[in-house]
């Protein structure tokens, strides 16, 4: 098997002194801002402030709201003085757990947190509904205002946080000393580029990613792992999993109790999974087409060689699902019928509604990201993780820092958190193409995405589809995942909406408490149901969605057979190494 590729798109070059000067300047500035475009922020702020300045009606409405909130706060303060445990004048949002401790109901902290929540409400009113402001700019200004308020929340300061004050009195200040030591330890690890505290308890290949298997194929971009069977007979149809390369593959093979791979193998499936290489400077020119060809198509070639005369159940997670959809569309266009079914786990195909990630995607922001990636040849995983953390800053940034640095309590990591800290890099060309062609231009769903010089269109896909969306997904909102119904009207589509977020909703093993899902199937040619009505009409089921998916897979498999060999040396797919391989170890 060849281990080289041809780069299809020439890398941009800088030939003129003015262009070189611009590139150097933009790169230097992008390093300072960590890839965030100040231009995008200023444009959004100017759009908002100018339109607000010429909207006297909106100004009057905000003035009236300010008076109303001041009156409510004053009345609450008087009631709280007479009746210490009276009802609050404003309640936090359902997902906001910052003020859940009973200590926040004591004076004066009840006044402090109620005043903060009223102010938060007012700023939301101020940044939304201003006539003339573009939707993207409104979202940016609202997001920036929320981040600013979250930073100055009374939870983050010891003198306004009753939980911290109580801990300080109880321990004689030992909590602050432990917090300072935690901060210094985290700073040391960050400066030495070491993994976060607690991740050493989850060693890849020893504690996580331990399902037995063999690497049966390797090229410059992937290792293909085939897992050893655990049943005397297996389903004839093999499964090929394409995870996202934004993450390490073992999100789907964590600990034995919550490994999706182990679950499938124990149910009698022959499972293959792609483990992506963690790219460096030498991989800067790898593009989306290289990922499709080296990642999906060469893995599919290997699976069909090891398990001949069988079609394949293909599974794609997140960005891996997007790439798999592109590959499946190109295969359908070309008459390649090797796929029996598609499973898309929290994967975007239509990017018109990408959720809050769109805050970081416009022409200005992409130009800054490209400048940041230019000299390194890749985007650091730390920067990608930082963007995701900002989308849920209360839980992922401020609450953690308050607990670890002010209360002095170290958060005990579990396997999913340790995996999340195992960041990967993204090649310059691929990341730029992905953001521009899919997120910014939505080329695939609108029929402009070309593979081998011709459009690959999702409407050409005719294989049955099983799609999963998660209720609290900040990366691929479930309504965006639901759009597969519109794009694949010629396919049977089974759609699952499960509790949890982008990762925890997918890693939802049987027996896990407080899990639920909804599922229904739309046959090819049936009328479309909008997502709101679908959710209202589809019964809620308790438990994990995995058994429903496994039954869906097994119904499409052509019986049970003896397990296939591990690899196929005679046709070029010898056993290279034990799972989890070498690429997953690269940092």
Q: Using DSSP, state whether 250 is helix, strand or coil.
A: helix
Backbone angles phi, psi at 575, to 5 degrees: -70, 120
DSSP per-residue letters across 142-158: HHHHHHHHHHT-GGGSG
Are 560 and 235 spatial neighbours (Cβ–Cβ below 8 Å)?
yes
Out of 318, 361, 372, 461, which one is annotated catalytic?
Answer: 318
Triad 338, 342, 346: Cα angle to 5°? 150
The number of CA neighbours under 13 Å toward the Cβ of 431 is 28
Cα torsion angle, 212, 218, 223, 229, sign: negative
DSSP per-residue letters across 405-417: IIS--PPPP-HHH
Burial class (CB in 10 A: 0-12, 13-18, 19+), 228: middle
| Structure tokens given for 188 | 């040391």
* Number of residues that make up the chain: 587
Tell me the CA end-to-end span of the chain in Å, nearest whole number.
26
**Residue 318 a catalytic site member:** yes
Cα torsion angle, 172, 175, 180, 182, sign: positive
Of 230, 350, 263, nearest to 553 by C-alpha is: 263
CA 479, CA 442: separation in Å to the nearest integer?
16
The catalytic residue positions are 318
């Amino acid at each position: 098997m060849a281990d080289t590729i041809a780069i299809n798109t020439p890398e941009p070059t800088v030939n003129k002194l003015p262009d070189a000067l611009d590139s150097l300047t933009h790169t230097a500035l992008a390093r300072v801002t960590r890839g965030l475009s100040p231009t995008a922020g200023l444009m959004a702020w100017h759009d908002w402030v100018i339109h607000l300045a010429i909207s006297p009606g909106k100004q009057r409405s905000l003035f009236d709201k300010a008076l109303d909130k001041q009156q409510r706060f004053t009345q609450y303060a008087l009631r709280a003085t007479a009746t210490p445990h009276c009802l609050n004048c404003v309640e936090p949002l359902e997902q906001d757990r910052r003020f859940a401790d009973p200590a926040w109901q004591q004076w004066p902290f009840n006044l402090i947190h109620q005043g903060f929540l009223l102010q938060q409400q007012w700023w939301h009113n101020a940044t939304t509904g201003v006539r003339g402001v573009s939707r993207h700019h409104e979202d940016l200004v609202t997001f920036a205002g929320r981040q600013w308020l979250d930073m100055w929340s009374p939870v983050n300061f010891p003198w306004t946080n009753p939980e911290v004050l109580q801990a300080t009195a109880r321990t004689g200040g030992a909590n602050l000393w432990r917090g300072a030591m935690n901060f210094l330890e985290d700073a040391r690890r960050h400066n030495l580029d070491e993994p976060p505290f607690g991740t050493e308890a989850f060693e890849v290949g020893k504690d996580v990613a331990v399902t037995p298997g063999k690497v049966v194929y390797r090229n410059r971009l992937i290792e293909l792992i085939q897992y050893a069977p655990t049943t005397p007979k297996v389903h004839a149809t093999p499964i090929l999993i394409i995870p996202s390369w934004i993450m390490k593959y073992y999100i789907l093979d964590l600990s034995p109790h919550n490994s999706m791979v182990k679950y499938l193998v124990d149910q009698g499936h022959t499972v293959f999974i792609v483990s992506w290489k963690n790219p460096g400077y030498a991989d800067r020119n790898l593009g989306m087409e290289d990922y499709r060809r080296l990642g999906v198509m060469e893995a599919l070639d290997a699976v069909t060689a090891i398990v001949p005369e069988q079609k394949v159940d293909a599974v794609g997670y997140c960005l891996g699902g997007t790439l798999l959809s592109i590959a499946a569309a190109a295969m359908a266009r070309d008459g390649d019928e090797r796929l029996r079914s598609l499973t898309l786990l929290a994967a975007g195909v239509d990017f018109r509604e990408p959720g809050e990630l769109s805050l970081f995607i416009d022409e200005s922001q992409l130009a800054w990201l490209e400048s940041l990636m230019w000299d390194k040849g890749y985007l650091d995983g730390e920067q990608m993780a930082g963007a995701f953390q900002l989308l849920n800053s209360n839980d992922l940034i401020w609450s953690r820092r308050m607990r670890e640095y002010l209360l002095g309590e170290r958060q005990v990591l579990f396997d999913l958190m340790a995996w999340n800290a195992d960041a990967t890099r993204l090649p310059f060309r691929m990341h730029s193409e992905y953001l521009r062609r899919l997120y910014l231009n939505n080329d695939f769903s609108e029929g402009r995405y070309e593979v081998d010089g011709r459009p690959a269109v999702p409407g050409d896909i005719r294989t049955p589809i099983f799609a999963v969306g998660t209720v609290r997904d900040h990366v691929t909102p479930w309504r965006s995942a639901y759009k597969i119904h519109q794009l694949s009207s010629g396919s049977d589509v089974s759609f699952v909406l499960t509790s949890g977020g982008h990762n925890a909703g997918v890693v939802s093993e049987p027996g896990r408490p407080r899990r639920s899902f909804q599922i229904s199937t739309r046959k090819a040619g049936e009328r479309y149901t909008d997502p709101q009505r679908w959710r209202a009409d589809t019964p809620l089921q308790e438990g994990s969605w995995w058994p429903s998916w496994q039954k869906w897979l097994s119904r499409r498999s052509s019986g049970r057979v003896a397990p296939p060999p591990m690899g196929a040396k005679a046709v070029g797919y010898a056993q290279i190494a034990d799972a989890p391989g070498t690429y997953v170890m690269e940092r």
